[in-house]
Structure 1
Amino acid sequence: MDDFAAHIDSQRGLPWENIADFEHFYKTHFVKMVVLCAKIAEDEDLSSQLVQEAFFKIWEKRGSLKEVANPAAYLYQTVRNTALDYMRKMKRERVGVDIDPEAHHHEEGDGKDEMLSFVRNASQKLPEKCRVIFEMAYFEGLSNAEIADYLDLSPLTVKKQKAIGVQKVKEILIPAMQTLLVLFSYLSK
């Protein structure tokens, strides 16, 4: 843990409680967040703008963020959501139709999109820290070391949280899949 993180932990404060801490938080995480965002937006200049927008959102609503347990995880989620929202908006503008981002697209294919959707929905039921690590690992493709660096955690903690996440997602999905199999067998009669 760096000196700044130790300072924050000892103060029990958040990095957006004053401008100096926020500036340090920004400088510490900006480049890492641009790299992360570029995995979604696939454009470094755009990613830089989206990360700046995410930091701005956090600063604007800092008064309501008193209960955030892990500022780095909250930042990651804000950056990710900002990038995904932007990508959805661009897709709507290209298509010219108001697409519901939660709608499931039933296109011909091998069912990977539907399965991924089930896993994403199941991952939303994980505890926050576990969910963030699970998403970074399995949806963003980040290594344990990268996740540990982004969230200021030990690689062992990341590994354990990933294992917990996989186990809990399985526990959520297996009964649902069994129900679907029973339903399909009933309908095929």
Structure 2
Amino acid sequence: MGVKDNGKIGVTKSFYQEMFLTYHKPLCVFVMKMVSPEEAEDIVDNVFMAMWEKQLRFNDSNHLKAFLFRAVYNQAITLVNHKKYVNRTMREMPREEWDEDNYLRNRIETEVYMEVVQAVEQLPERCREVFKLSYVDGLKVSEVARKLSISEDTVKTQRLKARKQLQEILKDLYPLCWFIFMLGR
């Protein structure tokens, strides 16, 4: 992790890279509920850049995580409010209001998403490939079979195997994940 200075985590280059790889995508997903994908990526990149430039220090990994989510949320709110102002002046409908309840709901969804991503990465390679193509990319069984040059029965078997393994890995979180991510398609 980072360098400890007076009990606080500092931002070394390797620690920064690790944080970026761990949190970039989940933070983008988190703020994409408020802004466009391009704007979300810009916001997250700006937060990481500011954190690096200011060499911020954190008490622990929870403090760091809270900082990242709050910082990107605040940046997104600023952008949304600016867009609302511009929209009002142009007599367009403003975007949906964002408040603390939306922040908490979106943060929880993002945390669940991170858990699912980590669990999926624990699946065996072929199982993971089939799962991602089926549930992330939304391909049909026949399309997955064609893309991977395997039979449709193998695709079905691998999908079932993936769901069972994810159920074991995610335990009590699995029904919520299935509801949020799979049934929402």
Shorter-chain TM-score bucket reads 0.3 to 0.5
Using structure 1 for the length normalisation, give the TM-score: 0.46
Using structure 2 for the length normalisation, give the TM-score: 0.46
